[in-house]
Structure 1
Amino acid sequence: MGNEPKSGSDGTISRRRVLLGTASAGLMGLAGCLVRGEDSGLEGEIRMDGSNTVLPHGAVVSEEFQWRNNRVIIPVRGSGTGAGFQRFCNGDTHAQNASRPILEDEQTLCESNGIDYIGLETALDGLAVFANPDNDWCDCLTVEELQQIWESGSDVETWSDVRDEWPDEEIDLYGRDPASGTFDYFTEEINGDIGNIRSDYSASADTNVIVRGVRGGQYTLGFGGAGYYYENEDDLKLIAVDNGDGCVKPDRETIESGEYQPLTRPLYTYFRTDAFEREEVRAFARFYFEEIDGEATDADIVESGETLTWTEWAARRVGYYAIPSEQVEDSRQELEDAIDEATA
């Protein structure tokens, strides 16, 4: 069965903005556009679908791999984590991007269709809590205060309900909708259960809509991927989170070190293990954990003396964050064990 698995001002956001602003259909066509590159002798099609959140990361890794193996085609779609797992567990795709681990009902679907898989951590994301820039009273919220605000049945209506000294003005809340892996992670980590959230907030599948809502009123509060904050720094105020060890804001240093908790989340790539019987699929999966070459040493992504793998490089390239080197080694070993088993 399957295995479970600094700051945006550093220049890493622009690539992600381009990718997030491109329609899924355009990203899906990346493979077909790569008419140049190197002919390694590998060929075939590897179908990838899944999370919209992880799509830019998967698209960049796929693009780099295809450049070096230009007869391999990798269409990358972003149907969403849940919809992607439906296709993956039905055997329609070979790889699945996911912003959360596979759920029990999805595992059951895979089992019923005879689909074995491996899930690997390939990137990190930080969920940010942000307010309107005219908010001059709130710089930090504890996890307990976030729960009081967001949990189902919350009796928090105004900012003064959170702290007496804050304005007696209604909090206007914005966040992701229930179809989102971001929603799942936020509600589980802050409120204790997936889907545990008050019903009177403005929910959206598009974090850009959340950003526009928060910047539209002084007393607003919202949550979304940290990258969206760094794309809109002039229009939002970043709120630090106190998990018991002081107030911490999400940036490259605090997310990659694990200091920003509990809203640092791993992002995943799943592979069907039966697909490892194909050489090009094995090569693509291994590519994630191979060291980058000399063409990928962007000064704003790779720090002096640092050695990155393609999955770490791609994460930073699109505005996410690199998994720790220890996790790279763990994921690489899990992958090799799965390949050995599949090809024995």
Structure 2
Amino acid sequence: MSLLSQKSTRNILLGQDNNALVFLFAVNSLVFLLINFIRIIYFLSDIPLEFFNKQILDWFTLSPVPDIFFSRPWTLFTTMFTHLSIWQLISTLLWLWAFGYILQDLAGNSKLLPIYLYGGFVGALVFLLSNNLFPVLERNILITPAMMGGGAAVMAVAVATTTLAPDYRLFPMINGGIPLWVLTVVFVAIDFATLSGGNAGIGAAHLSGGAMGFFFVKQLQKGRDWSSWMIALVDWLDNLFNPEKKSNQVKQHEKHFYRVNRKPYEKIANVTQQKLDDILDKINQHGYAFLTEEEKEFLNRASDQDL
């Protein structure tokens, strides 16, 4: 059974530990609440909002002006989590959920966050380059709008998901379902319709974010995982701040048959269920595409037997 039509038999739960989709929802929402809480304080204090923009908002958004950017290089990353409008935030979260949940189901939980970060980072770089190479002039005045929002990052997730499984079916009860690529076309059309008349650099940023998602999946299909270093870094930090967890992992790796309480030739009655759980965990972490042929065959036999 091909990846295009296969769906994991156990969905990733939104409430489970280390869920990347929930993490992205939380970060985007918390930054929005923080910025707007400070904005309300400025408003109630009768301080002009221009001061709020210069003193607070500009430290989160990405400015194409070189002098400003080099004094705030972290805005390459903070800009993809910064939303000032509630409708901008809702749009980002809805599309992120629509594509991110499917991506988790097909490629595992570990790929969503790297694709989001790669798309947002590349989009931010293209925004900087396009505004400096092709500056926008209006009545001989240089227009330098700042970039904010997760548009480029979500575009990367959408294109990556569609590239991975363009024939994935939504609402299968309706005439066999709607292909995923149709939803992607609708998303791209809405995204660029809202950008009409705006800064061309933002449109280029969204396009480059989508291109990043496409190339990420193509390299993944060739066996090159661009997210491996990021996953290894997260695991290292997790082990660094959770030494007990690392100790337990070492103990499990050191367990040999002569150290266990049962005899090495003793049969375990529940071994089939254990193997099934291991395969399902592997799907949740890495995706169905990373299963071996033997594991895929076992999964199909298990589903037929309703284990």
> Into which bin does the TM-score normalised by the smaller protein fall?
under 0.3
Structure number, greater radius of gyration: 2
Larger helix percent: 2
TM-score w.r.t. structure 1 length? Answer: 0.26
Larger strand percent: 1
TM-score w.r.t. structure 2 length? Answer: 0.28
